Amino acid sequence: MRSKFLCTPVRVKWLSDWLILPIWWFYDRVAQKRSNCWAFFVHPLKSGQFVENSRAVFEAVKRDPQIHKIVFTRDIAADLHIDDACNTDVIYMQSLRGLWALAQCGVYMLTNAVALDMSWRWPDGGFSVLKPDLRRRILVNLWHSISLKRLFALANEQQRQRADRVAFRRKERGFYRGLIASSDVDSYAMSAMFHPIGYERVWITGLPRNDFLRMEHGSLPRFLHKEAEIIRHLKQGRRLVVYAPTYRENDLPGAECYQFTDEEVRRLKELMLRCGAVLGFRMHYFRKGERLFNLEKHLDGNTIIDLGHSVISEIAPVLREADLVLTDYSSVYIDALYLEKPVVSFAYDLQHYHTQQNGLLYDMDLVFPGPVVSDFDSLLVALEQELTHGQQVTSDHYRICRKFFFKYLDDGNTQRVLDRLRALGAL
């Protein structure tokens, strides 16, 4: 009985919080940091996937023998599709070896935050926050998106308290040496949301992962090339309409995912068949609550296909193969603008989302170049109009929206991040 008690998750968490992590805290403050040792992290919520901006930066330096690249994972058995990399290790985050390696790294390439990327997770849903020395290393936050929503310091009061319930997460923002942004306007928003970071440390480089949108098909990393081929097979020569709604706080009163009726699904399928198209559904990776978008239940592999995160890990292949992007308030539509793809917003709960949920940084009429509709009938009209007579991408409004969010429209975003790192002495 005693040995079983010693091995319980509660006991292990207690030992970690009161012995292992405090010892590491002291060790990290005396250990030498190596500027050529870079820490990369798997997705904080998709533990078996190494994707997005940190992956794009890794792809750019993976063959550089002068940089020791360490990818910290939460699933050591997962295939991270790391091909042709040199001087690279994949290390289990929640281990003594992981702690030792983290202490050596002089550069942290964050995907979200130290408090989320590096936390130790427990079976009961709890977590332990690692608190590395923020002054003696280079911390760069490769935030995953161009934000349309209000986050952190700009969020609604209830949302702000929830997001910042870990005090270290607020503290670390003041120590970032770099936080990427995509345009002048985006840099102002990022500076405000990530307060107290200094504005001079917001880098207008563009998002490295958007390089995957613009580069030649044959130059894509092998796993993205394969995923693009999967989508092409599912399309079977038809046009692709991608439906990618954003995450909702389902535990908030009135925060509801849209539930399509059987009749609405039938009409959607009829429209796809009539227009020679297929509908690809991609739900947000953060699945919370029981009442989710029920379109998942109508996936048939033919007219409505699954483009979820378990099938296609990155958004880049989805957008490259898309002909029209349907969302609500997800910044995926902004990525679609990078490729000059038409967009439609199904904003059925706009007022509630704006006042009770995350809220929006900008007026949709200002920054969304396509139709913004609030009911299903209007949605069908907007989709058919764009699929049959679409001229959205040639409009002045579309051009202005692209300029609003993008300073650069190329595949050089990762290189601009590396140039900034070189200026900090990390290269």
- Would you give the distance in Å from CA 166 to the centre of its chain? 20
| Burial letters 102-133, b for 16+ CB under 10 A, else e | bbbbbbbbbbbbbbbbbbbeeeeeeebbbbbe
Token pair in block for residue 78: 């997962």
Q: How many residues does the chain have?
A: 427
Residues 285, 48: contact at Cβ < 8 Å? no
How far apart (Å, rounded) are the C-alpha atoms in residues 199 and 404?
A: 19
Residues 40, 89: contact at Cβ < 8 Å? no
pLDDT of amino acid 1: 36
Residues 374, 344: contact at Cβ < 8 Å? no
- Name the strand (E) or helix (H) holding 139: strand 138-141
Kindly state which CATH superfamily the domain 28-211+412-423 is placed in.
CDP-glycerol glycerophosphotransferase, N-terminal domain (3.40.50.11820)
CATH value of 219-405 in 3.40.50.2000, 3.40.50.12580, 3.40.50.300, 3.40.1160.10: 3.40.50.12580
What are the structural domain ranges in the chain? Answer: 28-211+412-423, 219-405
| Residue ranges of the chain whose pLDDT lies below 70 | 1-9, 158-165, 248-255, 285-291, 355-357
pTM higher than 0.85 for the full model? yes
Give the torsion sign (CA, 144, 147, 149, 150): positive
Of the candidates 116, 135, 143, the one whose C-alpha atom is nearest the C-alpha of residue 127 is 116
pLDDT of amino acid 2: 39
Give the SS3 label for residue 425: coil
Which residues 6+ apart lie within 8 Å of 350 measured at CB? Answer: 364, 372, 374
Q: What is the pLDDT of residues 147-159, one digit of tens each?
A: 998 888 887 776 6
pLDDT of amino acid 255: 59
